[in-house]
Structure 1
Amino acid sequence: MYTHDKQFIKAGKPFNETDKAILMIHGRGGSAADIISLQRFLKIDDMAIFAPQATNNSWYPYSFMAPEQDNQPALDSAIAIIGEVVEELKVNGVLEEQIYFLGFSQGACLTLEYTARNAKKYGGIIAFTGGLIGQQLINQRYQGNFQGTPILLTSSDPDVHVPVARVTDTAKVLEDLGGHVTLQFFKNKAHSISREELDLANKLL
């Protein structure tokens, strides 16, 4: 089993030119460079952009719905890395309410898991094809209040990796934590990010 080193790619504005930042979290088999390349389709030119890199290009080894112990210690390490990057942004003067999160697939699952365990007023959360992590959801681990943070969840109906039911259950948890959730399913969409999803993301951004 493995854990993660804190390594990431930066792009966008330097901290002395912006007070906004976005964390972009890649999927299984992807890379920080892959996910950060989405910047050319997104309205994030005015932000500092951080994309952490997973060890072995995977944040955890098995399905996000596998028994949690099967994905340890990689999963806890991945969540900790996201927390470390958030702290780095805050040290550089970015307020939590100006921090945005975006993830795809495994990265969307990790984005949702981190933010639901640390619910606060963020700039926004975008999860392309993902849901909260675990064989069953453990609601008591989700803490805080999103205070109306806009949250976008998109997925395919059906998706080969992410059951529709888990996405809808995730939306309910996030709403119960005070998130302003937009949930959008696309019939028989490929396991990738579509133009329509990017358009929805840009409305949030």
Structure 2
Amino acid sequence: MFEHEKQILLSGMPLDEAKCAMLLLHGRGSSSNDILEIVTHLNVKEFALIAPEATYNIWYPKSFLASREQNQPALSSALSIIKHAIAEINQAGIPTNNIFLLGFSQGACLALEYAALNAEKYAGIIALTGGLIGEEVKKENYKGNFKGTKVFIGAGDHDPHVPLIRVQQTTAILKSMNAKVTEKIYPNLPHGISEQEISDVNKLFFTS
């Protein structure tokens, strides 16, 4: 078991010049550079991009469907990394309602879990294949109000790691917390990101 060291890659606009920021969370076995490459396909050229990197390139050791205890202390440490990164973005003058959270796979699960545990108005939450974390998810574990935050959750209909039932449970919980959730299930998409998914995200969040 392990905790995370602070490793953050910055890209895009400097924090002190940008009006919006995006916190990017990579998947298992991936890196900050990998998630930044994905974002080159989104219309976020004037954003500050903040990409933490997980120790050993994994945010937590087990499946996101395992009990939370099995993923400790790495899970709590990863959530703390996000909390401190958002605090630093706020200190640079960018309010939370101008901060997007985006993640893929493990990073998508982490983005959703952090947001649900810290519900408030975000600029948006983009979960590319993921769901809330735990052996089972219960509404009573999540408090707060998203105040109409737009959330995108995308997944393939035959993803071997992310069952559709967990995506649907996540959508239901976030909607009950006043999030405006767009859930997209893509046919024949394995564990990955499709061009259509990127297009859907751009249309939902980044088309003026």
Which TM bucket (shorter chain)?
over 0.9
Q: Give the secondary-structure state (helix, strand or coil) at the position aligned to 1:125.
A: strand
Is the CA contact (8 Å cut-off) linking 2:158 and 2:190 kept in structure 1? Answer: no
* Per-residue CA distance 1:143-198 (angstroms, 9 max, x = gap): 21111111000001121000000000000001001100000101120211111111
Alignment pair present for 1:35 and 2:35: yes
Partner Cα distance (2:21, 2:125) in 1: 12
Q: Give the secondary-structure state (helix, strand or coil) at the position aligned to 2:56.
A: helix
The CA deviation at 1:15 is 2.2
Say how many residue pairs are matched.
205
Q: Give the secondary-structure state (helix, strand or coil) at the position aligned to 1:41.
A: coil
Structure 2 length normalisation: TM-score? 0.96
1:132: which partner in 2? 132
Structure 1: runs of 5+ lacking an equivalent: none
Partner Cα distance (1:21, 1:152) in 2: 17
Alignment pair present for 1:55 and 2:52: no
- How high is the sequence identity, in percent, across the aligned residues? 45
Q: Give the secondary-structure state (helix, strand or coil) at the position aligned to 1:182.
A: strand
1:170: which partner in 2? 170
1:82: which partner in 2? 82
Alignment pair present for 1:189 and 2:194: no
The CA deviation at 1:39 is 2.6
Partner Cα distance (2:119, 2:87) in 1: 15
The one-letter amino acid of 1:133's match is I
CA root-mean-square deviation:
0.9
The CA deviation at 1:139 is 2.2
Deviates most, 86-95 or 15-24: 15-24
Alignment pair present for 1:26 and 2:26: yes
Q: Give the secondary-structure state (helix, strand or coil) at the position aligned to 2:183.
A: strand
The CA deviation at 1:140 is 2.2
Is the CA contact (8 Å cut-off) linking 2:16 and 2:93 kept in structure 1? Answer: no
Q: Give the secondary-structure state (helix, strand or coil) at the position aligned to 2:40.
A: helix
* Per-residue CA distance 1:20-56 (angstroms, 9 max, x = gap): 1000100000001100112320111111000000000
Partner Cα distance (1:131, 1:123) in 2: 19
1:121: which partner in 2? 121
Q: Give the secondary-structure state (helix, strand or coil) at the position aligned to 2:16.
A: helix
The CA deviation at 1:75 is 0.5
Structure 1 length normalisation: TM-score? 0.98
